[in-house]
Amino acid sequence: MARIMRIVRTCPEAASEVLELMFLVSQIEAATGVDREYRDAKRVISRLRNPLWEMGPTDREKLLAAAETIRRVCRLAEDEIPPAPLADAGERARVEGRLAAALAGEFDAAQIARITGIVAAALQN
């Protein structure tokens, strides 16, 4: 949380977007319990660069400025940022592992794989 507050202080014009994004992420985590690592800075940066909804150029610039601020504050190299929030290696495997644990005994492996694909697609978009 301290890092988020530093980011907000550094880029105050993007404060509401960053805080809203963090709130939405925490709601998704609480609701699904699937991906506890979604708050990882790399995914937040990627999500800011690839918003879930269309927006105007001014709003888009604010999100990109926030993403760049997070990248700088976290000292991340550009090549460490996934092109899409779920594009990093192993993300689907982590989601599938969590779903398999949560749904053990209720669904077979093929059904869990299909559910994983749906969840991954929903999180991606």
Q: How many domains does the chain have?
A: 2
Mean pLDDT value across residues 84-94: 66
Residue 11's pLDDT band, with cuts at 50, 70 and 90, is: confident
Tokens, residue 110: 């093929």
Nearest to 116, CA basis, from 103, 82, 58: 103
pLDDT at 33: 52
What DSSP designation does 22 have?
H
Longest dimension (CA), the chain: 49
Q: Which domain holds residue 101?
A: 87-124
Percent of the chain at pLDDT exceeding 90: 0
30 located within any domain: no
18 located within any domain: no
| Neighbouring C-beta atoms of residue 120, cutoff 10 Å | 18
4 located within any domain: no
67 located within any domain: yes
Interhelix angle 41-49/57-73, rounded to 10 degrees, is: 160
Helices and strands, number each (H, E), in the chain: 6, 0
Give pLDDT tens digits for 56-77: 888 888 889 988 888 887 778 8
59 located within any domain: yes
Tokens, residue 3: 């890092």
pLDDT at 30: 62
In sequence order, what are the residues at sequence separation of 6 or more whose Cβ sits closer than 8 angstroms to the Cβ of residue 123? 35, 38, 85, 86, 95
